[in-house]
Structure 1
């Protein structure tokens, strides 16, 4: 139980990479709190091993009330978080020619505005010497059809990572990003997409990734664990976990 006594908060922890990270750190003995728009399936899966809170990053009032809820659950207004993982996000497959204002706004309101204000509200709860990890994407490095708004939003998050890292360095808080490629999850990170389109998206990832497969959520989770607890001299960086897609030719 390597991380017994450690407190972890995962924003966007009810499925995919966030859930895999929760499961990994629970196995390691950490106290895990996770948020999501629909927490029921994760709560049923994890039972009493984790605490879930409903949160929509598009709702700023929910964000501002979150710190008091976290400290209430941890049992003290002085309680601190050892690792804050800001993983929640929204993506849809929208070619630039058909991208709507509504889809663009939802993408940026969730991935940039919501993520920023969550980090702003929760950073004071991170203990001195603790860590914050954001989820970005290789889409901010590699042009992927249908991912224009998402890619731009994640590029903005990457920029925020570096600024938060600079501003929190005085407290010894390390701020980094994990940048996944194509990862096998129920939605492949894309919401509201028909099954056959998701299958095509996954196959495209498999064919274009130099390692010849898509990643597993647990592989990204192990990178989050490293950045949270083991990479004690790394801050302001983006660690790419993409099977070579961003930097290798296939």
Structure 2
């Protein structure tokens, strides 16, 4: 008599997802748990972390942490060490940035974007490494803003453009440990936060450049994240995986 396997793609794995209190990373955390992982999530605001933990429901540990703050990162990985002892998957997803036209960009905008997206991502990965199991998967959230010339987004785009460079170098540095490093680059995604703030005119503008004329969903990005986290992507290494519905190729 045949049996149906109920094995999840991340059974027994420990995953850390930064910036996972909403949107794509929260959808990913839910999916990772459904696929058998224990997930550590972070966010800047304690109430948001608690709410995300409530939504995920099981096999999750929430840690209030700002990825631009190295002390917070130390506390995050000390929590992981104490509770689970090791990491199999790291999704460095925390990031953000503001619009700013050339001629009006401030030092504060520049420093904030690079502190979180470039510096924070680097130290998130570096501080995770002592806990990382050989053969694990690291991936970072990029942005298709770094692939096209969107007006007013030069600082944000530049701070995200460093991530594929990190991945290429880290692949070489980590090859003896068989740890894979990739970049997940989404396009225009209809996260609850974006949809609440997005004027109808801008939403239409976003959709006009997507071949299917419809923004992506957080769950669609979560599926790509699961692919990168799992053994399904065992031969994918050092790549920028673009999930933007084709908006950067037409």
- Partner SS for 1:183: coil
Equivalent residues in 2 for 1:37-76, closer than 5 Å: 37-38=44-45, 39-74=49-84
Rounded Cα–Cα distance in structure 1 between residues aligned with 2:172 and 2:237? 9
Alignment partner of 2:197 out of 187, 195, 199 = 195
- Partner SS for 1:187: helix
The answer to whether the 8 A contact 1:182-1:202 is kept is no
- Partner SS for 1:223: helix
Q: Deviations over 1:55-107 (max 9, x none)?
A: 10221111123221111122xxxx22111000000122222232221111111
Give 1:153's aligned residue.
159
Matched pairs, number: 239
Alignment partner of 2:246 out of 233, 244, 247 = 244
The answer to whether the 8 A contact 2:12-2:36 is kept is yes
Give 1:34's aligned residue.
41
* Unpaired runs of at least 5, structure 2: 1-6
Give 2:18's aligned residue.
11
* Unpaired runs of at least 5, structure 1: none
Rounded Cα–Cα distance in structure 1 between residues aligned with 2:224 and 2:198? 30
Rounded Cα–Cα distance in structure 2 between residues aligned with 1:111 and 1:91? 8
Rounded Cα–Cα distance in structure 2 between residues aligned with 1:231 and 1:90? 27
Report the Cα offset of residue 196 of structure 1.
Answer: 5.1
Q: Deviations over 1:30-71 (max 9, x none)?
A: 111111112132123223441100110221111123221111
Normalised TM-score (structure 2): 0.90
Q: Deviations over 1:135-167 (max 9, x none)?
A: 111111111122111100010122111111111
Q: CA separation of 1:211/1:28 partners in 2, compared to 1, >3 Å: closer, same or farther?
A: same
Moved over 4 A (4+): none
The answer to whether the 8 A contact 2:80-2:86 is kept is no
The answer to whether the 8 A contact 1:182-1:188 is kept is no
- Partner SS for 2:96: coil
Give 1:207's aligned residue.
208
The answer to whether the 8 A contact 1:188-1:202 is kept is no
Q: CA separation of 1:95/1:6 partners in 2, compared to 1, >3 Å: closer, same or farther?
A: same
- Partner SS for 1:33: strand
Give 1:233's aligned residue.
235
Give 1:101's aligned residue.
107
Rounded Cα–Cα distance in structure 1 between residues aligned with 2:205 and 2:100? 16
